[in-house]
Chains A and B, each alone.
Chain A
Amino acid sequence: MLAQILFFIFAAMCVGGAINLLVQKHPINSALSLIVVMGSLALIYLLLGAEFLAAVQVIVYAGAVMVLFVFVIMLLNAGEEERLSHGSRVAILLGVPALIIGLGIAAWFITHITGLDRVAIGGPEIMNGTDVFGNPQAVGKLLFSTYLLPFEVTSVLLLIAIMGAVVLARREGD
């Protein structure tokens, strides 16, 4: 019961932040509402027993990546967005009902067809700490044994990303 209440609180915060991201005009407001979404997602990860991912979500996503975004928004002095082109009226008239119908069909499929609504996860065992399987020790063991090669490849990817960012952001003629 407590897990359900916590889930609904954080799910409401997630959806509210995501909708606020769409509604806000200024990019800094959108960035801050995305931080709310990421923080609530970290708590939902904790409900699912993913301790390591919850920590990484807060440190890497809500911390490092969003600081980078806020830094760039303030560096470029981004203001309110101006709209030069307006979407076609036909696209709005057809798109909004199509989106609602599509989401409804998807929700019906998810909840009815596969019988997933009978599979309950994230219960009191996880909250008591007896069923936490996503702790850093277990994830690290798997990461450095089965997934050692992909892990090493990500280090190359990060190196390339660092060099690419430096080359792209450099001024011409330096």
Chain B
Amino acid sequence: MTFSLNVENESPNRTVFHLHGRLDAQTFNDFDLAMLDVLPRIPEESTVVLDLSALDYISSAGLRSIAKIRRTMRSRNGHTLLLNPQPQVRKVFDIVKAVPVNEVFADARELDEYLDRMQRRMTGDEPGSSP
């Protein structure tokens, strides 16, 4: 068991994926399949949080899987945020400049603050669109 995935729906517009183990050429396929299953069920304009705190290792195959998720979410006007990557994983992300720096968060509190801030801005800017 080198890789596992937990999906947690914190709220209707925020889904958290907990990644465990190694996301590499051997495991990215499983991850991709799981995503194919999960992502379509996520509503538009919602936020996907990838909790990487338990991800030990990632290779280019894993990077491509994550890029795929981000592209899917973007096409659905959603966001993909990364939470707490381990140093090794963070190093890989840095090397290939995988995601914008402001979408990676060191811990859950930072993430919450960011999401709140974004929420307020959205409600302030577009009050009519608020649910």
Question: Do A and B share a complex?
Answer: no
Binding site for B on A (CB under 8 A): none
